[in-house]
Amino acid sequence: MQINKALYNYDNRKKEKEREVGKYHASEIFSICKGYTTTGNFFKQKEINGESSLNMFIGSALEEELAKRLEWNKMDFKQQTRHEIKLDDFSISGKTDFEFPDCIIETKCPKDHTEGIPDKWRPQMCFYNKASGKQVYLGIFNKTGDKIINLYKYTPEDGEWERIVEVIKDFDKRLKKRYANKN
Residue 148: pLDDT band by 50, 70, 90 thresholds?
confident
- Say how many domains are in the chain: 1
Query: What mean pLDDT is predicted for residues 33-43?
Result: 92
pTM of the model: 0.91
The CATH number of the domain where 100 resides is what? 3.90.320.10
The SS3 of residue 63 is helix
C-alpha distances (whole Å) from 141 to each of 21, 97, 105 are 34, 13, 12
Residue 106, H or E segment: strand 103-108
* Each residue's pLDDT tens digit, 66-107: 999 999 999 999 999 999 999 989 999 999 999 999 999 999
What is the model's pLDDT at position 5?
A: 83
Q: What is the distance between the alpha carbons of residues 86 and 76, in angstroms, rounded to a whole number? A: 28
| Residue 113 confidence (pLDDT) | 82
- pLDDT over 70 at 17, yes or no: yes
| Residue 144 pLDDT exceeds 80 | no
Per-residue pLDDT at 182: 58
pLDDT exceeds cutoff 70 at 1: no
Query: Residue 137: which of 161, 103, 86, 175 has the closest Cα?
Result: 103
Residue 181 has pLDDT above 70, yes or no: no
Angle CA 3–55–116, to nearest 5: 170
Q: For 120-125, what is the mean pLDDT?
A: 96
Phi (first) and psi of residue 176, to 5 degrees: -65, -40
- Burial code (b: 16+ CB inside 10 Å, e: under 16) for 91-124 equals ebbbebbbbbeebbbbbbbeeeebeebeeebbbb
pLDDT at 2: 87
Can you say whether residue 117 is alpha, beta or left, with left for phi > 0 and alpha for psi between -120 and 50 degrees?
Answer: beta
Assess whether pLDDT exceeds 70 at residue 15.
yes
Q: What range defines the domain where residue 143 resides?
A: 3-179
